[in-house]
Amino acid sequence: MNNQLSGTIGIVGMGQTGCSVLRWLLAQSCQPMLFDTRQTLPNPAIQIMKHADVALVTHLGALHVAALSQCELLIVSPGLSIADPALKEAALNGTEIIGDVELFCRFDDRPRIAITGSNGKSTVTTLVTEMLNRAGMKAAAIGNIGRPVMDVIDSDDDVLVMELSSFQLETTSSLRASVACFLNVSPDHLDRYDSFEHYATTKAEIYANAQVSVWNRADALTQPSTLERTTSFGLTQPEPEQWGLLEQQGELWLAKGQTQILACIHMPMLGAHNRANALAALACVDGVQANIEKCVAALVEFNGLPHRCQTVLQHDGITWVNDSKATNEGATLAALNGLSGSYDGRLILLAGGDSKGADFCSMRSALNEQVDELICFGKDAIKLANKRQNARLVGNLEEAVDIASSIGKKGDLILLSPACASLDQFSNYMERGDRFAQLAQEVSR
């Protein structure tokens, strides 16, 4: 076993991430201490322990400094804040605190493309992975996208495409990405950070020791501190070796410098924000010298991800779009801007939920200038409704869909893009989006 794993190790948080770490540590003949803030361990963790043939010390409920400080190393799941007082004091007592991504990076030296951003990172991560596989480079999408990094540490993949949240980056110091991409930043998770600046700075840590840095020309906060070994993307005409849009004879092209790569009309994904996502993905695969022509073939077939500006119904001339993944202001603004021009009638926006501390001030102009009807639901509906005159206020998504259906006319676009988390009324944003699609079908019958 690597000497980096010597001493007592603890896993804090026994969800999907914690279980992936536990499986790997057991395979290394390590017997970690387990911590979980719940009163009982989740069933997947119990099943792993049943087959481990070893008795593991387990601490349940509130975290206590004395127990945490018994460990030389704590591997903390991203769902738990390292600002927790018990974790902070354990760190002061000399315990090293890392996350699963840091553990992975210490034991795996394969090329990796790391992608972060408030919005679009799952789309870009998936697109990059499909491009690389099409180009003959076996790639896997891991991290925040749903597949824990420790589950692929022994895989035969050539390149690892890592979607990383700010929570994962704050416990990672050995990333050293082949390509690090920072897509954008907008207010999010302000219930966990001291300020928006703190949140943005945490995301920018993705650039540390990266071989190539990819940033967004339209978002100054994504710009690396040094412009050495960097490339940018954006919806403007690009400088040489940068990525952007070119207009030729009235047709828009994805381009690198003056080189046309793909006419935007051939992209199945709609909206300006998805053109930006495509350009970011191209910059990433170019950073590992993948065959761009083969990568473009994947882009032509890529329809985007569920719950991300996904058309779920077209009925009686009305288009219903599910953008439930928009859990913050920036994501909803991106949808409003990206979908502009894709409908003939009015835009009816359904929004609301748990704002996670956001004040929606950045949305005021868009809500009043781009939205024709605003229907607000959920925990922070009133806060959102106050940003637009004549907003409609309802209790839940079902009522919102009913009203949208009653006022919708031919040519209109009804958009679920909540700008909020879903946990006030749903298990996750996927359940919220699926429910929206189901309700749209029901009211259209």
Q: The CATH number of the domain where 125 resides is what?
A: 3.40.1190.10
**CATH code at 395?**
3.90.190.20
**Global confidence as pTM:** 0.83
What Å distances lie between residue 153 and 11, 16, 33, 142, 387, CA to CA? 18, 15, 21, 10, 47
Count up the domains in the chain and report the number.
3
Give me the residues of the chain with pLDDT under 70, please: 1-4
Catalytic residue among 121, 256, 325, 387: 121
Same domain for 242 and 131, yes or no, is yes
Q: Would the annotation count 121 as a binding residue?
A: yes
Same domain for 56 and 113, yes or no, is no
Q: Which domain holds residue 39?
A: 6-98
Q: Would the annotation count 6 as a binding residue?
A: no
Inside any domain, residue 376: yes
**CATH code at 17?**
3.40.50.720
- Give the DSSP H or E segment for 102: helix 100-107
Same domain for 265 and 355, yes or no, is no
Q: Would the annotation count 117 as a binding residue?
A: yes
Same domain for 285 and 377, yes or no, is no
Inside any domain, residue 240: yes
Same domain for 178 and 89, yes or no, is no
Domain boundary among 259, 283, 301: 301
**Active-site residue flag, 121:** yes
Q: Given this model, what pLDDT does residue 366 score?
A: 97
Q: Given this model, what pLDDT does residue 134 score?
A: 97
Same domain for 124 and 250, yes or no, is yes
Domain boundary among 98, 121, 147: 98
Q: Would the annotation count 120 as a binding residue?
A: yes
Catalytic residue among 133, 144, 184, 277: 144
Q: Given this model, what pLDDT does residue 2 score?
A: 44
Same domain for 291 and 318, yes or no, is no
Same domain for 155 and 79, yes or no, is no
In eight-state DSSP terms, residue 238 is P
Same domain for 94 and 110, yes or no, is no
Domain boundary among 61, 80, 98: 98
What Å distances lie between residue 349 and 243, 316, 355, CA to CA? 32, 18, 16
Q: Considering the chain, what is the average pLDDT of its residues? A: 94
Q: Would the annotation count 387 as a binding residue?
A: no
Q: Would the annotation count 118 as a binding residue?
A: yes
Same domain for 261 and 354, yes or no, is no
Q: Given this model, what pLDDT does residue 70 score?
A: 97
Same domain for 143 and 203, yes or no, is yes
- Within 8 A by CB and 6+ apart from 204, the residues are 182, 221, 222, 224, 225
**Active-site residue flag, 3:** no
Same domain for 185 and 327, yes or no, is no
Inside any domain, residue 356: yes
* Closest alpha carbon to 169 in 99, 92, 97, 74: 99
Catalytic residue among 59, 133, 184, 189: 189
SS3 69: coil
- 22 in Cβ contact with 51 (< 8 Å): no
- Within 8 A by CB and 6+ apart from 225, the residues are 204, 207
pLDDT, tens digit, for every residue of 324-346?
999 999 899 989 998 987 889 99
pLDDT, tens digit, for every residue of 132-179?
999 999 999 999 997 999 999 999 999 999 999 999 999 999 999 999
| Other residues' Cβ atoms within 10 Å of the Cβ of residue 304 | 20
**Active-site residue flag, 315:** no
* Closest alpha carbon to 376 in 356, 354, 395, 357: 395
Inside any domain, residue 1: no
- Within 8 A by CB and 6+ apart from 157, the residues are 110, 138, 139, 140
